[in-house]
Chain A
Amino acid sequence: MLGKTAGGLYWLFRYLERSENTARLVETGFRIALTRADGTDDEWTSVLQTAAVDQIYTQLHGDIDQGKAIDFLLRDETNPSSVLTAISAARQNARLTRTHLTREVWEAVNDGYMIIKDTLARPVRIRDLPQVLATIRQQTALVRGAMLGTMLRNDAFDFCRIGTFLERADNTARILDVKYYVLLPSVTQIGSSLDNVQWETILRSVAGQRSYRWLTQGEVTPKGIAEFLIFDRRMPRSLNFAISKVAGNLTYLEEDYGGRMPSHDLIDVIEAKLKHGTIDSIFEDGLHEFLTGFLADIGRLGAQIDQDYRFLG
């Protein structure tokens, strides 16, 4: 398999995951805005921070308001993480790697691109927003389904999965990082009345509110949420789950190619930190510090995989 193709598959699935995650963030922001009484736009500031596009936004549009923020996140082609930019980049990578995709995966990507591009051709009216966001989630789910249902479990598949889960781990870590101040005070202020809506934001943006309630019998605590999203291996968007998937696919590559690479050492270290860590020690050392370290780790891992498998040269 060409190095370029491996890189194309990796980025195809990173961008696909990113388009879905951006849509989830918009959904969360919108939901909070709807249920909040005070009418401020604070939520959009934190959504833009989570997507790491707050600085570009401010440069281009100045003050944050809901309409502009939604448009920026969904449609703005100068925003590298907007749904439209991400789905276009995903499709471009799919065109580049067509020889390694099944017809069904290609068609799912191409259909998704055409439908989303069409849906986002004009600014989205607020009343249409829930439907538009559902469409984006459904289209990306269809690609994932086609991939799981039709692709050979070979190296091509491994690169698709590594891209998916590195992007997802990155996203969940960012959500936690932007919201750490919501979780942090609670450790010291036992029994204080925290904003339930804020907690729900975090769970909702990773589609975890229902799972969390089931697992904890309804007992919602900041520490519980952080633990759930960092450590729980049953939760498909947790750091531990995503990293264990990346580790698994890297192991398949090691077996398949018969060679251990520097990226295998990196993933071992990241995995060990999650395996031996506890939520108490993380809170003790600082959640923000932990997450910053984690994001740097997976950034290095991504660059190392690029080098080990010759994505570019």
Chain B
Amino acid sequence: MSEQSQFFDEMTGGAEAARPCYDPYDTWFQGEDLEDLRKKSAQAEAFFRRTGITFNVYGQAEADERLIPFDIVPRIISGREWTKLTKGIEQRVRAVNAFLYDIYHRQEILRAGRVPRELIDRNEAFLPQMIGVSPPGGVYTHIVGTDLVRTGEDEFFVLEDNARTPSGVSYMLENRETMLQMFPELFSRIKVQPVQNYPADLRRSLAACAPQACDGKATVAVLTPGIHNSAYFEHAFLADQMGVELVEGHDLRVVDGRIAMRTTRGYQPIDVIYRRVDDDFLDPLNFNPDSMLGVPGIMDVYRAGGITIANAPGTGISDDKAIYSYMPDIVEFYTGEKAILQNVPTWRCSEADSLKYVLDHLSELVVKEVHGSGGYGMLVGPAASKKEIAEFRKKLEARPSNYIAQPTLALSTCPILTSKGLAPRHVDLRPFALMSPDKITLTPGGLTRVALKAGSLVVNSSQGGGTKDTWVLED
């Protein structure tokens, strides 16, 4: 582990000894037998399979449910570091929410010339149906999963804001559950802040955004595309943990101006719907007419104040990677403060100078589609072959405005357990923030994704990444 590298290692910081937050874990680890730990690792996998924490792979046989690999070495963050991150994320969530309200109402930020109008006008993620609509409680982004990367002791960058329907929170919870079962003694030695309140917080937060039509206690439901969706486990898990119904489009219909679910006793109204279905599929009458996943007419009920949709339709505009490049301005415009968390420098390929720079430096840069997610459709320059770069160049030249480019970040590493002991691998971090009309709640921890291949910078589960439990220490 003492090998000097250009990357910040979160356990050692490049030194011989562990950084203070890793010190108690390091002491414990030194006293453990590698073979025993390897066995524990295998047990963890059996535990995940048993619990059914799997994801379906698109285009493969139905039986093909995969596990996301789990690494048993926790990623540890000190309480002090977390406090700083919390402030930064809260600021950012508040700004994104204010931006969305503005964009769908007076568009002050466009009038002020801080964000170019064409980024909004020609954007598929901008929903004209949301213009002038005020969501219940003024909340657009009920759940946000901000992607962060670290490059040094005090260097954190926001990679993506994920204000649409961030996934992965079930892994945050199940990873902790697994660690508690496997290493109870560790938790009695080291005081880790709990994550288990997330489902209760989520339910409370969603219920606090109930629409006008709701009288009394809010009925919440989770809307899933169905059992074949890659994240079905998470949808079922969250519904179960919150104690609410898991519904599909065909369980729902409009009854007396409300969205109602077909129960064993007839149709009963829902107040808040936590949808894990994309905007486009939400309502065949208002969006994609071929969608079988949504509810015909839900947008009309929504506009009339009959239902809360979380996250609000149209939030995807703030996930646009070209919009992302303006986030420091957006934070400043709405909060009057400098952004606490840094943005990754971003070249917008729609601009001629930037495009020229990007084309000249493809082998050094990461190029992404502005609407893309999940690591698909992107070029990681340093890891790509000449042929891949040449092919990508053609796509980029054909539609420059569809792309942005960023420098390859020196992502921090955390140790994982390998057959030869600990070895550093690159990680990112997705904490989850919940927004209700009166407050923003952050669960201490989040989803740590880890690239399992030595040297790899791609942490996406669809591209061979794994996960770790994320510990925020009590200071």
Question: CB within 8 Å of B: which residues of A?
Answer: 1-6, 92, 95-96, 98-99, 103, 106-107, 110-111, 114, 155, 257, 259, 309-310, 313
CB distance from B470 to the nearest CB of A (A): 23
Q: Are A1 and B264 in contact (CB under 8 A)?
A: yes
Supposing A3-B263, A313-B262 touch, asked if A99 and B245 sit within 8 A by C-beta, the answer is: yes
CB distance from A221 to the nearest CB of B (A): 45
- CB contact between B262 and one of A4, A98, A99, A103 (< 8 Å): that residue: A4
Main SS at interface, chain A: helix
Question: CB within 8 Å of A: which residues of B?
Answer: 49-52, 227, 232, 236-237, 239-240, 244-248, 250-251, 261-266
What residue in chain A is nearest B52 (Cβ atoms)? A110
| 29 A-B contact pairs sorted by A residue (CB < 8 Å) | A1-B263, A2-B246, A2-B247, A2-B251, A3-B263, A4-B248, A4-B250, A4-B251, A5-B245, A6-B264, A92-B227, A95-B52, A95-B232, A95-B236, A96-B227, A98-B237, A99-B236, A99-B244, A99-B245, A106-B51, A107-B50, A107-B51, A110-B50, A111-B50, A114-B49, A114-B50, A257-B264, A310-B263, A313-B250
Q: B246, B261, B266: which has the most chain A beta carbons within 10 Å?
A: B246
Q: Are B240 and A98 in contact (CB under 8 A)?
A: yes
Q: What residues on B are CB-neighbors of A3 within 8 Å?
A: 251, 262-264
CB distance from B292 to the nearest CB of A (A): 14
Total of A-B residue pairs, C-beta within 8 Å: 60
- In the complex, A98→B263 CA distance in Å? 16
Q: Are B52 and A2 in contact (CB under 8 A)?
A: no
Q: What residues on A are CB-neighbors of B49 within 8 Å?
A: 114
- In the complex, A114→B46 CA distance in Å? 11
Q: Are B245 and A257 in contact (CB under 8 A)?
A: no
What residue in chain A is nearest B252 (Cβ atoms)? A2
- CB contact between A2 and one of B51, B232, B237, B264 (< 8 Å): that residue: B264
Beyond A2-B261, A2-B264, 5 additional contacts (C-beta under 8 Å) are A3-B263, A95-B232, A106-B52, A310-B262, A310-B264
What residue in chain A is nearest B221 (Cβ atoms)? A2
Q: What residues on A are CB-neighbors of B262 within 8 Å?
A: 2-4, 310, 313
- CB contact between A99 and one of B240, B250, B264 (< 8 Å): that residue: B240
For the complex of A and B, the 4 pairs showing the least CB-CB separation, nearest first, are A309-B264, A98-B236, A99-B240, A99-B239
What residue in chain A is nearest B238 (Cβ atoms)? A99
Supposing A95-B227, A106-B52 touch, asked if A2 and B263 sit within 8 A by C-beta, the answer is: yes
CB distance from A305 to the nearest CB of B (A): 10
Q: What residues on A are CB-neighbors of B264 within 8 Å?
A: 1-3, 6, 155, 257, 309-310
Q: Are B50 and A99 in contact (CB under 8 A)?
A: no
- In the complex, A4→B240 CA distance in Å? 16
- In the complex, A95→B239 CA distance in Å? 13
